[in-house]
Amino acid sequence: MTAIDRDDEAGGAGSPRISILVICYNQNKYIREALESALEQDYENLEVVVADDASRDGTQTIIRELAQRYPHRLKPILNPQNVGITANSNIGLAHCSGEFIAFMGGDDVLLPGKISRQAAWLAADEKRVLCGHDVDWIDADGVQLGIRSSDRVPLREGRGASGIIRNGTPYAATAVMVRRSHIPSYGFHPALPVVSDWKLWLDVVGSDGLYGYIPGIHARYRRHRDNVTTRPSWRITHDVLMTAWLSLWHLRGRYLKDWLHYFLLRPLLKRIYRGLHV
């Protein structure tokens, strides 16, 4: 990483503007902690855009309260009716003005210094388009589960979409920051109503974008029964299959071997590994 002076590291004058996009729905138990962890980041040139999908549990009341406390830092988008995960994400994305955009759920927690460190990593090289990091898992009460995202999918770095296809997304969604100029015009693809972040990471990286990670743990991912991906479902399977189809279509058949590896060889290698470690 190139040297960055203290003013830039803290997101002062001349630093890239950062948007943190927070997506939420009926998360009154967690939204205050989530938003405060974003709003209190030490990066100065920062906006927090929270897109609430017509919550009915008091979440919007908390958002309005925080918007009054942080009028120049928090941008609330309160949907009048529920539109679903991907559509809500795109509504929020359309209100982000940052050169770099970070993502988090309304039940997750960012740790101090996350934004400034990721911004420094991306700003050091214009070819860098996506930055991640490791994440701790916590339960509904905030108790650490002794699991890190890297325990499930090892952190990786590379160029282009090949590695992100073959091995799956290398970072938890709440760990990702991207260069906004590489986001496609449709944002999160509308054909993927539930799990659309993987396709967005592939779109951002494309065929030659650099992705990598900063060392350390910089966020906490809350795992509870209301998580969309807690239990396998046809909706999730549909979006994964559509992600493969759409990426092959958009990239004109490129990375077909990588998709075959993901769907055929990767599960076989996992079974062999488990068999050797019984």
Q: How far apart are CA 23 and CA 35, in angstroms?
A: 10
Better pLDDT: 213 or 266 = 213
Does 20 score more than 80 pLDDT?
yes
Q: Mean pLDDT of all residues in the chain?
A: 91
Buried b (16+ CB within 10 A) or exposed e, 183-198: beeebbbeebbebbbb
So what's the pLDDT on residue 10?
Answer: 65
Backbone angles phi, psi at 133, to 5 degrees: -170, 175
Q: What is the mean pLDDT of residues 86-112?
A: 98
Q: Quick check: 19 and 103 in contact, CB under 8 A?
A: no
Q: Quick check: 43 and 18 in contact, CB under 8 A?
A: yes
204 Ramachandran zone, left/alpha/beta (phi>0; psi -120 to 50):
alpha
* Least confident stretch, 14-18, 62-66, 268-272: 268-272
| Residue pLDDT, tens place only, 159-210 | 999 999 999 999 999 999 999 999 999 999 999 999 999 999 999 999 999 9
Better pLDDT: 232 or 4 = 232
Domains of the chain: 6-276 (3.90.550.10)
- Nearest CA to 132 out of 19, 214, 197 is that of 214
Which residue spans within the chain are E strands per DSSP? 18-24, 46-52, 74-78, 100-105, 109-110, 128-138, 144-148, 158-159, 177-179, 210-222
